[in-house]
Amino acid sequence: MRPRLIATDLDGTLLDDQRDLSERTVAAVRAAVAEGVEFVLVTARPPRTVAPLAERLGGRIEALCGNGTLLAEFATGRTTLIHSFDAAAAIEIVRQLRPVLPEAGFALETGFEVHYEAAFRVGAVGDDRRILTEDLADAAPTASSIIKVLSRSAERSADEMVELARRTLTVPAEISHSGGRGLLEIAPPGASKASALEWLCARRGITAARVAAFGDMPNDLPMLRWAGIGYAVANAHPEVLAAADRVIGHHAEDGVAMAIETLLI
């Protein structure tokens, strides 16, 4: 049965090894949309880094960003907040994690900008809404929303950081990673790619059985399990490969595009 909605992660899944969209991927997505299939990007990224990709795919593309914390509708410019932390909870997460991740830096993502301390180590800062702060506790109350607490370590794997956070945190939160080396991502309680996708589909009258979802990392697992068919790309994390309904080609070899082409037959 052809899906009514296709949901896909970006990095390591839809995008190639240059973090870009191949011509075949763009063509496959546009063909699906032209035939009436809704197409939603479901990503840990904030809207500002998804917008250029959505524009290339076509004006009707939407994105569930920040690991299921907000919906970005690029055609209208509208953003809908689904989940967020209050400032006190976000700062308490940082306070609890510092002793177990002493070498790490922390940051607060709002969906519109990211407030980070120097130890978080971002690349060259341009005009992409990165705000360096000496004290996140001072920045948090001024943030329009806080959709993720981030921690980056050069000494640990993301899997190790997730395990440490799960053993340490007492603040209600969703702990995951999306494959970034040494990058821990903590979302508000109830936020996940699955919960956001379920919320969106309920608004559209689409059942899980009519959804095909694609992913590669542990933060994709809830979405792949919720969807009628969950696809893992060949390069996926071992947990994702084990849980997926189907395994398709490598992300750098147009695996998702080829699967979409098959779904449209």
Average pLDDT for 182-209: 97
What is the C-alpha to C-alpha distance for residues 177 and 265, in angstroms, rounded to an integer?
Answer: 34
pLDDT recorded at residue 184: 95
Percentage of the chain lying above the pLDDT 70 cut: 97
Q: Which residues contact 166 (CB under 8 A, 6 or more apart)?
A: 175
Domain C-terminal end among 187, 221, 238: 187
Same domain, 30 and 161: no
Same domain, 75 and 202: yes
pLDDT at 136 > cutoff 70? yes
The total number of structural domains that make up the chain: 2
Q: Which residues contact 221 (CB under 8 A, 6 or more apart)?
A: 215, 239, 240, 243
**Segments forming the whole domain that contains residue 134:** 87-187
What is the C-alpha to C-alpha distance for residues 198 and 29, in angstroms, rounded to an integer?
Answer: 21
What is the C-alpha to C-alpha distance for residues 94 and 73, in angstroms, rounded to an integer?
Answer: 31
Same domain, 74 and 93: no
Same domain, 126 and 165: yes
Closest CA to 188 of 171, 170, 174, 178: 174
Average pLDDT for 105-133: 83
Same domain, 32 and 77: yes
CA distances from 110 to 25, 68, 105 (A): 29, 13, 17
pTM given for the model: 0.92
What is the C-alpha to C-alpha distance for residues 141 and 120, in angstroms, rounded to an integer?
Answer: 20
| pLDDT tens digits, one per residue of 217-254 | 999 999 999 999 999 999 999 999 999 999 999 999 99
pLDDT at 126 > cutoff 70? no
Same domain, 104 and 172: yes
CA distances from 143 to 82, 112, 205 (A): 16, 9, 34
Torsion of CA 151, 11, 128, 59, to 10 degrees: -140
| pLDDT tens digits, one per residue of 63-85 | 999 999 999 999 899 999 999 99
Same domain, 195 and 71: yes
Same domain, 58 and 181: no
Same domain, 154 and 205: no
Percent helix / strand / coil, the chain, rounded to 5: 40, 25, 40
| CATH code: domain of residue 109 | 3.30.1240.10
Same domain, 157 and 225: no
Domain C-terminal end among 163, 187, 211: 187
- The neighbouring-strand residues paired with 79 are 72
Same domain, 65 and 125: no
Same domain, 93 and 182: yes
Q: CB–CB of 212/7 below 8 Å?
A: yes
